[in-house]
């Protein structure tokens, strides 16, 4: 009986040491692996902070199974416990991963750090299993343009470059408004096929506007807007 009590106590001590030594906790972490997310649709990332240190806590995304990473958010936890962040994927992939990196004063995470490392020397890392990201059902930026705008206006020529990606054919409407919301011009109207579209469009009516122009791109029920100051 005493041996059993000692064994049970020893297990409890080892468990307690393991918990105390952890800095990040991946139990219940999401994504959990195997999911399919959608470009342009927010999904929740969750993990736990056991010991909080000064320094950066980055949320990183890899589209190639951990070969390369980019920072999604330079995150600062407010305390220990469960952390949540709403992430919107912007790249289609079958080999996506999320990494949480708590530098704790150490150098930033590198592309070579692809394995969860929550307990030993900093930086402390959690890496999710692989998941997929599919194309959007609405408007998406081209993967090559992730993080950039849908529109680029050229005040000197009054040409408007518009770039968008459709997972399926949709009726597309592109209009320009002034700062007061008055319609200036309908620049593009009609059904556009699935796939990537890079268009350069022009309307004489844009040439008469000085000040703020608001461009509105509508595909189906989804709308993207962007403002430009056309002053020359």
Average pLDDT across the chain, whole number: 80
Top CATH class of 23-134 equals mainly beta
Q: Beta 93-102 vs 183-192: how paired, if at all?
A: unpaired
Domain 23-134 and domain 139-229, same fold? Reply is: yes
DSSP states along 78-106: SSSEEEEEEE---S-EEEEEEEEEE-TTS
What pLDDT sits at residue 83? 92
Per-residue model confidence as pLDDT tens digits over 21-69 = 779 999 999 999 999 888 777 889 999 999 888 778 899 999 999 999 9
What pLDDT sits at residue 7? 39
Q: What is the pTM of this model?
A: 0.56
How far is residue 17's CA from residue 2's CA, in Å, rounded to a whole number? 22
User: Domain segments of the chain: what residues?
Assistant: 23-134, 139-229
What pLDDT sits at residue 143? 44
Count of Cβ atoms closer than 10 Å to residue 212 Cβ: 14
Work out the pLDDT band at 138, boundaries 50, 70, 90: low
- pLDDT at residue 218 tops 60: yes
- For the chain, what is the radius of gyration of the CA atoms? 24
CATH number of the 139-229 domain: 2.60.40.4070
* Residues in contact with 54: Cβ distance below 8 Å, sequence separation at least 6, in sequence order: 104, 105
What pLDDT sits at residue 16? 37
What pLDDT sits at residue 106? 84
CA neighbor of 187 nearest in space, from 168, 163, 204, 166: 204
């Amino acid at each position: 009986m005493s041996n059993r009590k000692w064994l049970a106590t020893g297990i409890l001590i080892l468990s307690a040491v393991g918990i105390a030594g952890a800095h990040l906790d991946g139990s219940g972490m999401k994504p959990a692996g195997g999911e399919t997310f959608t470009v342009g649709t927010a999904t929740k990332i969750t993990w736990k902070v056991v010991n909080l240190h000064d320094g950066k806590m980055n949320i990183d995304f890899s589209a190639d199974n951990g070969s390369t990473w980019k920072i999604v958010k330079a995150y600062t936890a407010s305390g220990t416990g469960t952390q949540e962040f709403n992430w919107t994927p912007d790249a289609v992939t079958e080999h996506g991963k999320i990494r949480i990196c708590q530098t704790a004063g150490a150098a930033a995470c590198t592309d070579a750090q692809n394995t969860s490392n929550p307990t030993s020397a900093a930086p402390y890392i959690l890496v999710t299993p692989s998941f997929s990201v599919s194309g959007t059902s609405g408007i998406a930026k081209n993967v090559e343009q992730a993080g950039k705008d849908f529109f680029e206006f050229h005040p000197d020529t009054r040409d408007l470059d518009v770039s968008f990606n459709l997972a399926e054919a949709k009726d597309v409407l592109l209009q320009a408004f002034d700062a007061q919301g008055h319609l200036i011009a309908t620049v593009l109207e009609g059904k556009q096929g699935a796939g990537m579209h890079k268009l350069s469009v022009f309307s004489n009516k844009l040439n008469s506007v000085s000040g703020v122009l608001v461009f509105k791109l509508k595909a189906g029920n989804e709308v993207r807007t962007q403002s430009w100051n056309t002053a020359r």
